[in-house]
Structure 1
């Protein structure tokens, strides 16, 4: 019996199995979110320039999202395929997929930051920086890009630990990075007064520690899927990895695109105060994504392993129960945001203008996230079963077909202005969730035919 089977992916009761995998994954996602949220909380409290520093780092957020998107392209493409191979009993094939993924991550981690270092100033200005916030954004990004290899290794390879049913180990990986980041943020920003440079340096060091832990584990005998030097090479398997990983990649890279559109539109119609308000709201929305992405990472190995083993009833029970849980959690978080926007804004800023913008706009900006839980589980299920095309369509539909055009068009409709930018999010969330539910209902019978 292989380690994945002994972890109960094919035998444990679904409820207990999901709990054992999803809870550590949620904790891991919470740790990942700490990198961004804690940075902003500390930076906002720098006397005199806190709001400008926080906004400058917020302008860099689309770039950090893009880097994590490339990590997801490989990690979320290779890890589900490895789960399927484990379900079929082919551990060696799963190890080859890990080796190809490592090679791809190394190539991307060299090319992307090199291009960004050479073009960062015009990119940041296009992404919503002003003359006041550009210096902070540039200083943060210069240091952050220097650690891209470790960032991509930490984000892209941890999925291979979860893929073999070792969610607690994956949780420890992210906790190492997150707790280190919090401690280093306090040291560099508060004690040593290093400002945005301290925030970036804390991120790089923390991700390096996490990456070293992950690589050491994958190369050890404790890992079902062993990382071997001879497997680290690009071969034809990269095509399958890219085909499946393109859906989560599109989800993340278009999130980066959305932040660019939002920041540039808000800079045009409202100025730095509105960009700062969006920085705060994206930080709060990350709290919802903690649960949704954590649940997805916990559920995907169950769906992938049982789909590969043709245990289709377990696949059905998994996605049905998780869809209910996901919608319930998203709806609860959305309700809390709508009820207490002023209190949440006060955590990030003491500026009355910025806090007032957040208080007015947060309730309707996030109101579609409850129903959007449907799309989260639908895409998770498609990826877990190796179905790249429908997953890719849903990612493109929400962000590129709906959200980007709405964010550009609505500010010109009936004088909505900045309000139109914020309304684009709930309209696209609700519409895409409905489409995802209908598509899943039509395709799933053929996929799970005995």
Structure 2
């Protein structure tokens, strides 16, 4: 058993090589996932207009809910799987994979049912203006049918990556996204189906990715996944949930903030020259552009996960520390590039998603430059939060995942506009980013001062 641990590439190959091997496909997979939203935004913006863009932003909390479930059981299952393999218990590891898949699909069905039954009330709660509601209903009623497929396709990708096949995760996501893009062009521009066309294109791409992931589950490399692994074991579920709670909490926090922000933008927009719909439409576009940047950062953090999980489980703490330092170095470089693009070319980026009035572009440019000002330090929180989860310290991971969204951004979104109106929402972003980075840096420095990291393996 000891020989198997020593011979595993995660424990012996150079850390930079491993991080590239796992992070690059993860980044591509995340970019492809972001492409689903970006492509829909592009086609809707250039066919339906700014009300259609606002509608996708109103529906976004439900998409975040799907990602939250997929990350809880995807990252949680992958972390439990790799930690267990690091300890040498191959037999138990298979149950984490099987249980994670069953829970993702089951919760996806539940979310679909709830969404279909209470859709209109939910969309109003999410902050939909009346002139946007019809578009949001049309889009969401269709995409809700694809929630189980989206959740398993996204979360299952993490399980596939944990099995040492990050390229397959990339390929399955790319296949779905390419199908989505082609069908968007056919349904929205060709057949003139508008919001419904974009929605149908989205779920068809998700279904294809779902079946690719399920096929892989029948051909797992490190552990043969059998029917017995699909039976629910609550001790396994508990461990998966604890390890996946940090990324889940981060997504739930994003959803809460999104709902509060939509309602704030609607309220304070109505008191300004912009009106209710323009701020919601612009904020939606910018958040999805931000997802492209975060695809790189989250991809790095996901590529980091199997490396630090295995080596921490195997007691190779110097490799854990080296992997984290390498990840944040790459994150810093990418964040500086993104910051420059967001500050120099905001209007050009916004214009890709359709035309608008001068008021529309004025708000969008200001929001882009101010809200995303601290992009160059935004790599710290996602990487550090996932790092603590990956080494089996989910409590710290959960806390850090909540710092930016719930602890700092949410109260600032409420407080700042009371004094400076809709501009307060813009300035809440960079203040929250800065405070979250400080907390993360403090906690990881204290972690690496622990005696175990001074041991050489």
Structure 2 equivalent of residue 169 of structure 1: 168
Structure 1, residues 191-239: CA drift from partner, whole Å, max 9, x if none? 111111111111111111001001101211x532433222112212111
- Find out whether 1:342 has 2:347 as its counterpart: yes
Structure 2 equivalent of residue 429 of structure 1: 433
**Structure 2 counterparts to residues 394-409 of structure 1, below 5 A:** 394-409=400-415
Structure 1 equivalent of residue 288 of structure 2: 283
Structure 1 equivalent of residue 136 of structure 2: 137
Structure 2: 5+ residue stretches without partners: 270-275
Q: Distance in 2 between matches of 1:5 and 1:201?
A: 48
Structure 2 equivalent of residue 193 of structure 1: 192
Structure 1 equivalent of residue 43 of structure 2: 42
Structure 1 equivalent of residue 373 of structure 2: 367
Q: 1:343 to 1:7 in 2, by over 3 A?
A: farther
Q: Which runs of 4+ in 1 moved over 3 A?
A: 1-7, 444-450
Q: Is the 8 A contact 2:283 2:367 kept in 1?
A: no
- Find out whether 1:323 has 2:321 as its counterpart: no
Q: Distance in 2 between matches of 1:448 and 1:84?
A: 17
Structure 2 equivalent of residue 230 of structure 1: 228
CA RMSD of aligned residues (A): 1.7
Q: 1:447 to 1:104 in 2, by over 3 A?
A: farther
Match 1:441 to one of 435, 438, 445? 445
**Structure 2 counterparts to residues 251-400 of structure 1, below 5 A:** 251-270=250-269, 271-352=276-357, 353-400=359-406
Q: Distance in 1 between matches of 2:217 and 2:6?
A: 18
Q: 1:96 to 1:50 in 2, by over 3 A?
A: same
Q: Is the 8 A contact 1:98 1:225 kept in 2?
A: no
Q: Distance in 1 between matches of 2:131 and 2:248?
A: 32
**Structure 2 counterparts to residues 83-122 of structure 1, below 5 A:** 83-122=82-121
Q: Distance in 2 between matches of 1:5 and 1:198?
A: 52
Structure 1 residue 361 displacement after superposition: 2.0
How many residue pairs get aligned? The number is: 445
Q: 1:443 to 1:355 in 2, by over 3 A?
A: same
Structure 1 residue 137 displacement after superposition: 0.4
Structure 2 equivalent of residue 17 of structure 1: 18
Q: Is the 8 A contact 1:188 1:202 kept in 2?
A: yes
Structure 1 residue 142 displacement after superposition: 0.7
User: Greater shift after overlay, 264-273 or 345-354?
Assistant: 345-354
Structure 1 residue 445 displacement after superposition: 3.5
Q: 1:200 to 1:4 in 2, by over 3 A?
A: farther
Structure 2 equivalent of residue 418 of structure 1: 422
Q: Distance in 2 between matches of 1:55 and 1:6?
A: 52
Structure 1, residues 303-332: CA drift from partner, whole Å, max 9, x if none? 111111111111111001111111221121
User: Greater shift after overlay, 2-11 or 155-164?
Assistant: 2-11
- TM-score, L = length of structure 1: 0.95
Q: Is the 8 A contact 2:180 2:205 kept in 1?
A: yes
**Structure 2 counterparts to residues 20-99 of structure 1, below 5 A:** 20-46=21-47, 49-99=48-98
Q: Distance in 1 between matches of 2:279 and 2:52?
A: 14
Aligned partner of residue 117 in structure 2, secondary structure: helix
Structure 1, residues 379-423: CA drift from partner, whole Å, max 9, x if none? 12111101111111112222212111110111012xx11111111
Structure 1, residues 93-136: CA drift from partner, whole Å, max 9, x if none? 21111111122113211222211211111211121211111011
Q: Is the 8 A contact 1:398 1:429 kept in 2?
A: yes
Structure 1: 5+ residue stretches without partners: none
Q: Is the 8 A contact 2:143 2:200 kept in 1?
A: yes
